[in-house]
Structure 1
Amino acid sequence: MKILLAEDERTISRLIRQVLVNNGHEVTAVTSAAEAVALLESERFDLVLLDLHLADGDGMRVVAAIETQQGEGRPPVVLMTGEGVLGADDPRTRRVATVLAKPFDLDELERAVNAFVA
């Protein structure tokens, strides 16, 4: 799978990227919402792993870009957040496929990604 990883904590990004690459995925890692939006304008991804809070703003900005730029063929988004578990009544959860509460273990990450493997 071709995965876009948007995570501004470099240590976490490197770890996630390594796990996914070891599982045979192609991973493009960025550290900002602006970089993610720019890549989504020029490339197609099968999945987006997105930190809710990036250094340059809210990760939901990336979700909005996916919704407008990708149309019906948009990739699913796995939202990663340190806010704990987001309730079903949180409007952000309705716009993403899955939410991973930080800290999550690598098995949780792999299950979340594998749920979208074709």
Structure 2
Amino acid sequence: MAVLLIAEDDEDIAMVLARVFKRAGMTVLRAPDGLAALELVFQERPDLLVTDLGMPRMDGWELIEAVRADPDVGRTPIVVLSGHLRPGDPRAGTARCCAILLKPCPNDQLLATVQELLEIGPHQHGTAGSPCPAEMSVSV
């Protein structure tokens, strides 16, 4: 069973996301901010991380950077699910996340993205031949 970590500061959104993923047969961990999420990434080694961008203590961009910087967890697939992404934000192209989805995102699209990344599994970013969907779409 896949273990998924949700980093989301809005309790209502986190509950809905947890329900969606649990119904899909996944084990769900939740963190109310980026710093708590980073601690859980190191402790629990989830198969995938879904993160918001606008969170207290450590935002989603900082969380992604911290995960990618660690050799033990840096290959974890990461999905950004946020309503805080501004058009033209340069961090979207350099964050080394696997997918960016904007809220509100249809549950079926979110699940399909997560399932695709779980099938790919841990992978490198910023290297030639990376199986990451984000990397493939940039290189084409």
- TM-score by shorter chain over 0.5: yes
- TM-score by length of structure 2 reads 0.74
**Aligned residue for 2:24?**
23
Query: Unaligned 5+ residue runs, structure 1?
Result: none
Q: Where does structure 1 differ by over 3 angstroms across 4 or more consecutive aligned residues?
A: 70-73, 83-87
Instruction: Indicate the percent of aligned positions where both proteins have the same amino acid.
Output: 28
In the comparison of the two structures, how many residue pairs are matched?
A: 117
Query: Unaligned 5+ residue runs, structure 2?
Result: 120-140
How far apart are residue 81 of structure 1 and its match? Answer: 1.6
**Aligned residue for 1:3?**
4
Greater fraction of residues in strand: 1
> 1:115 is matched by which residue type in structure 2?
E
Q: Tell me if the contact between 1:33 and 1:54 (Cα under 8 Å) persists in the aligned partners.
A: yes
Give CA-to-partner distance per residue, 1:34-91, whole Å, 9 cap, x none: 101111222211110000111224211111121122457521110012135755x733
> 1:44 is matched by which residue type in structure 2?
R
> 2:40 is matched by which residue type in structure 1?
L
Radius of gyration: which is bigger? 2
**Aligned residue for 2:111?**
110
Between 16-25 and 100-109, report the one with greater CA deviation: 100-109
* 1:1-118 alignment runs, 5 A limit: 1-71=2-72, 74-83=75-84, 90-94=90-94, 95-118=96-119
Q: Tell me if the contact between 2:51 and 2:78 (Cα under 8 Å) persists in the aligned partners.
A: yes
Structure scoring higher RCO (CA < 8 A, sep ≥ 6) equals 1
